[in-house]
Amino acid sequence: MGFLLLPLYFLSLLLIVFSAAVHGANSSASSMTPIPRDLYHSSGALLNEIEALASRHPDVLTMEKMRADNKGYAAEIVVITYNHVKKQTNNKSKFRILLSFGQHGRELITSEVALHLLSVLAKEQKMLSMQPTSFNKILENIVIKVVPMENLNGRKLVEGGELCERRNGRGVDLNRNWSVDWGKKEKVSSLDYDPYEENPGIAPFSEPEAQIMRKLAKSFEPHIWVNVHSGMEALFMPYDHKNSTPNGLTSRLMRYLAHGTTTDYMYDIAKVPMAFTFEIYGDLSASSKDCFKMFNPVDKVTFNRVLNKWVATFLMLFEMVPSRLHSIHLAVSSVKLVPIGGNVVDGSLIGDSRESKKIEGLELGMQELRTYFRLFLLSSVLLMFMFCSRISKSKCRPACPNLAI
């Protein structure tokens, strides 16, 4: 009898441990905020609504689907082009803007902003602060390409219950799959770096989504690139992979480094003059395990505020940039650039390798002007952003969580 009591005792202990584990798992699951279906479209519904929007406004909106595959994995990306005056076939004469939303599956709010922006561009939604005549004038000289959901396959995983998933359908972080500084990893012990979340893939551009976006950028040749994310409220410019800006100034607030990012490629390789990453929302009070709440607003008031605020910010960007670019062109034409290693005397160059040095000086001057313009543009948008959202000083401190972008 004594021999039977011992196994029964251990069996009862095992049942207690198992019950505690199940209770803990259920408790953890219940602490995660589900997707509020009354606020957010499913991926299919959102893309269908965008397609219907384009079909209702063929005079200004066109839709195309770009596909690619690699080793049995396929991806499709919807691209919407806004062109206010389609009769002008030469889009190269216009100012070109490329916007990407939904690169990470869990950031649903970004795709909702894309839909709202397209609705405003098509004039189905109105911005109270914008007069119709002013609105039309802003848009007549620009062409905008919008990728509303770059990572459809990853988004479907989130909708299936994997609310913390940021990667694509085969586990690769699309914002680490680009060639600039690809594959470099921060120390695993660093709180900023998660090798599981930030899997860069087996090689640069191994992922069909990244291949499609590279092809789009090369063919469109945008003047502005904006990669829209959520998880915090911030605006970033290159570089992501080193702690400096393109002209070498130290970025003291940038404590988190990311390698193989889209924005660094757009600036360094695609030569997009102005490349930015916008982080449009983040709940700093949310638990790190409550991913949906951390990356997306969960109440209607905040949801609508984010949509309206960021659509207004994009419209301001559309208004400001073409005129500023014209000013930069005027400045370039009036500046006498002194080539490195030579001296200018009465307009003539003294020194060897005159042509190469002229080019070197021109490139340096253009780089400096471009950098100063980008800094000016970023600071202007930042001021607008801070004014609209009334961010407290505590949320602008460098102590904000270092979330992977």
Q: Which active-site residues does the annotation give?
A: 279
Characterise 245 by phi-psi region: left (phi > 0), alpha (psi -120 to 50), beta (else).
beta
> What are the angstrom distances between the C-alpha of 381 and each of 38, 140, 235, 316, 393?
31, 21, 8, 8, 17
**Of 329, 332, 350, 331, residue with least CA distance to 341:** 350
| CA atoms lying within 13 Å on the CB side of residue 4 | 1
> Using CA of residue 265, residue 268, residue 274, residue 278, what is the dihedral sign?
positive
> Using CA of residue 178, residue 179, residue 185, residue 186, what is the dihedral sign?
negative
CA distance 228 to 147: 10
CA distance 361 to 391: 41
CA distance 89 to 85: 9
CA distance 396 to 258: 20
> Using CA of residue 377, residue 378, residue 381, residue 384, what is the dihedral sign?
negative
What is the per-residue DSSP string for 139-198?
A: HTTEEEEEES-S-HHHHHHHHTT-TT--S-TTS--GGG-SSTTTT----TTSTT--TTTT
> What are the angstrom distances between the C-alpha of 220 and each of 64, 278, 362, 392?
14, 21, 25, 39
- Contact call for residues 332 and 151 (beta carbons, < 8 A): no
Side chain identity at 340, as an amino acid letter?
Answer: I
Tokens found for residue 267: 């600036």
**Of 74, 41, 216, residue with least CA distance to 153:** 74
Q: Cα-Cα-Cα-Cα dihedral of 358, 362, 368, 372, to 10°? A: 150
Which pairing describes strands 348-350 and 343-345: parallel, antiparallel, or unpaired? antiparallel
Tokens found for residue 303: 């949801």
